[in-house]
Amino acid sequence: MRWRNTTWRRRTLAVLLAAVAVTTAGPVSGTAEAATSTRSPALVPASDRQVRFTADGTTAYGTVHIPAHRAGHRLAAALLISGSGLTDRNGDQPPSFTPHTLALFASTLGDDCVMSLRFDKYGTGRTGWGRYKDSDHIDMAAYTRQAVAAYDTLRAQPEADPHALLIVGHSEGGLQALFVDRSVQSKPAGLALIAPQDTRLLDTIDYQLAGLLDRAVAVGRLSAQQARSNKAGVSRAIADFRAHRQVNTSGLPPSIATLLNAMFGPHNATFVRSDDASYPPHIARSVAHGTRTLVTCGTADTNVPCWTTPPLLGALAGARITGPGLRTLPDLDHLLHPAGTPVNDQPLAPAARRALHGFVRPWRQLTAS
């Protein structure tokens, strides 16, 4: 997540080819037409459609990706929700952070003839802050209302199958996907929670910073005692913020103090409190029975490590979801890249692509050029 300019989290085989050629068993009396075969519907080429929609009096902008498909066919349609911070419709925080996560999701889903909508959430791209003017008073519920409006916009697209609506959320977008699922009247048929935020926000920050301090010890930059002291300082700062007490970050390493001061400062405190009040497993209990659900975790993901996922998985199991369930992605980081590879301009790792392909298998359509 990027707080203003501070970065803290880097993020039934369905329908056969239409109108298979009809064969004739022999001469048919009456007309010559009876000996001809039915032609397949025309192939509509892939395209991107720019859309706009309104939430809370603010116009938001997005891109609908429509894969090549047979004319007249309705397509499964996925709402794509980005991760935390000022992350735009493509999954980027330009100019320095450009992994293109959501754009790559759209392309991967398009390979299975699943259309998608991705959008610039508040503070990003063409949408900007709108009525909020800046981040000072925006909360998680505002982002949910915006995402619900995006979902309704996707559902209204002429190519979209209203019975095959999906939500794909990355990182914090996974939590937001659960909120949207709970909020909409027409429930999605599937949820893909990709490296999702699976616990309270400040608990996530606590363990992320603890892991950072442990790695500093491993390379000799801190002593074990210094790491213990700093971990205690981080936990104390979080407890004070939650209790609405004055937060004191003195004594912490400057980079950690700066991060916490930004999170707890006036520009972000409202959002942080609203996110931290949300426990994803509790929200997951309301997912409709039978919803096809995918959850991924990468074994090299230090933002949302695999050991944090069991409560969320347990809540989803209690909701009696169906589908792939957990897919563990060996050696992949939070951005679905092999560990140690560059952040920007990288393709999704094959294991991540396979997970998405498996998720949409019931809605896959085959097209021929």
The answer to which of 132-136, 312-316, 329-333 has the lowest mean pLDDT is 132-136
Consecutive H or E run containing 151: helix 140-155
Q: Is the pLDDT of residue 57 over 80?
A: yes
Say what the pTM is: 0.88
Mean pLDDT across 296-311: 97
Helix H, strand E, coil C: the string for 181-231 is HHHCCCCCCEEEEECCCCCCHHHHHHHHHHHHHHHHHHCCCCCHHHHHHHH
3-class secondary structure, 29: coil
Mean pLDDT across 347-361: 98
Q: Is the pLDDT of residue 367 over 70?
A: no
Rounded distance, CA 43 to CA 20, Å?
Answer: 14
Whole-number pLDDT of residue 35: 38
Whole-number pLDDT of residue 365: 82
Whole-number pLDDT of residue 2: 41
95 Rama class: left (phi>0) / alpha (psi -120 to 50) / beta:
alpha
Percentage of residues of the chain with pLDDT beyond 90: 86
- The residue ranking higher by pLDDT, 7 or 168, is 168
Q: What is the pLDDT of residues 274-296, one digit of tens each?
A: 999 999 999 999 999 999 999 99
Mean pLDDT across 140-153: 98
Whole-number pLDDT of residue 38: 59
Whole-number pLDDT of residue 369: 43
The answer to which of 20-24, 85-89, 113-117, 359-363 has the lowest mean pLDDT is 20-24
Cβ proximity of 289 and 189 under 8 Å:
no
Cβ proximity of 270 and 136 under 8 Å:
yes
Please report the domains of the chain, with CATH numbers, ordered by start residue. Answer: 2-11+44-200+278-363 (3.40.50.1820), 202-271 (no CATH)
Q: What is the pLDDT of residues 4-47, one digit of tens each?
A: 433 333 333 232 223 222 222 333 333 333 333 457 789 999 99
Band the pLDDT of 137: cuts 50, 70, 90: confident
Whole-number pLDDT of residue 50: 98
Q: What is the pLDDT of residues 82-100, one digit of tens each?
A: 999 999 999 999 999 999 9
Whole-number pLDDT of residue 11: 34
Q: What is the pLDDT of residues 224-260, one digit of tens each?
A: 999 999 999 999 999 999 999 999 999 999 999 999 9
Which pairing describes strands 160-170 and 292-298: parallel, antiparallel, or unpaired?
unpaired
Whole-number pLDDT of residue 41: 81
Radius of gyration of the chain (CA): 23
- The residue ranking higher by pLDDT, 72 or 181, is 181
How far from chain centre, in Å, is Cα 97? 17
Q: Which residues pair with 52 in a beta bridge?
A: 61
Mean pLDDT across 196-209: 97
Nearest C-alpha neighbor of 166 from the set 11, 13, 356, 311: 356
